[in-house]
Structure 1
Amino acid sequence: MQKELKNEIEQDTAPSKTQRKKDMHALQEIGEQLVELDPKKLTEFDLPETLKDAIQQARSIQKHGARRRQLQYIGRLMRNVDALPIQQKLDSWRQVSVHQTARLHQLERWRERLLSEEHALTEFAQQYPAADLQRLRLLIRNAHKEKTADKPPKSFRLLFQELQEIITEV
């Protein structure tokens, strides 16, 4: 009777097989992210030498099956490492990337609006009073001329750069 009770208690405290598999897959996913990282960024992590070597080997493997096995091996090695700080740093880098992408999309939307809508410049001036409107008008006019004359989009690019300087945050 006591053995059965002890077994039930152990089963309740131990993670299920499904949970263990999820944890292993999560570690393997972190390992895959480490393989895809730039080597300079990888040096920012305090990883064991065996894990660094396994990541380096995975980068050179091209065959799908061999790469999958190497990633599984990296996942096993990740069990011996505290993965939380690694995941947090990877997430923070990804968040910065998302923020930069959102900013570039905002700049692109403004450029398209300035080139296609008549009242967009007035709205832009209200939102960003420090903007040099005369310079923006010149770039918009030149971008239209370049487009109609099938010339390289020099002013189109300059307009984007000008907007980058004016709009400093999303």
Structure 2
Amino acid sequence: MLKIQEIRELIRLIDQSSIEEFVYEHEGTKVHMKKPSTSVPVETVVKTVAEPTVKIVTPEAPSQAPAQPTAPIAETKQEEQAKQETVNKENLHKITSPMVGTFYTAPSPDAPPYVKVGDKVKKDTIVCIIEAMKLFNEIEAEVNGEIVEILVQNGQLVEYGQPLFLVKPE
């Protein structure tokens, strides 16, 4: 019987190769891996011609104060926030899925989740379970820190290498 580390290594090797399907049988144990279809989606490009717009500007009365532009300032603040979030996310550790399977936040449907946003975790803290081939695999945090974001939903199918959690390392 294959050990979980051997299965993970097989998944990693198949993922990095051009092999689309892999089957391994030994002593009644069968491992079957298949990559998603590599078909290329077809895109349709539609060209539209924009009609020119005419803006009529009338002179304002001298007693009125000129209007202050608010849109560029708001856009600048939004751009700054987006850049800050990108920089912050670059400093975070991603806990990724070591296999293809179904993501679960708790050991059973009626149990509380292993972790929530804001929880402190250690390297060996179990953060979720991934079910693959009727086996429930406990996934550990891999780093000491704080859970900042949970990137997948309970019961969602996940791919090998897909980010599951963002952790702010200590």
Category of TM-score, reference length = shorter chain = under 0.3
Normalised by the length of structure 2, the TM-score is: 0.22
Normalised by the length of structure 1, the TM-score is: 0.22
Answer 1 or 2: which has greater strand percent.
2
Larger radius of gyration, structure 1 or 2?
A: 1
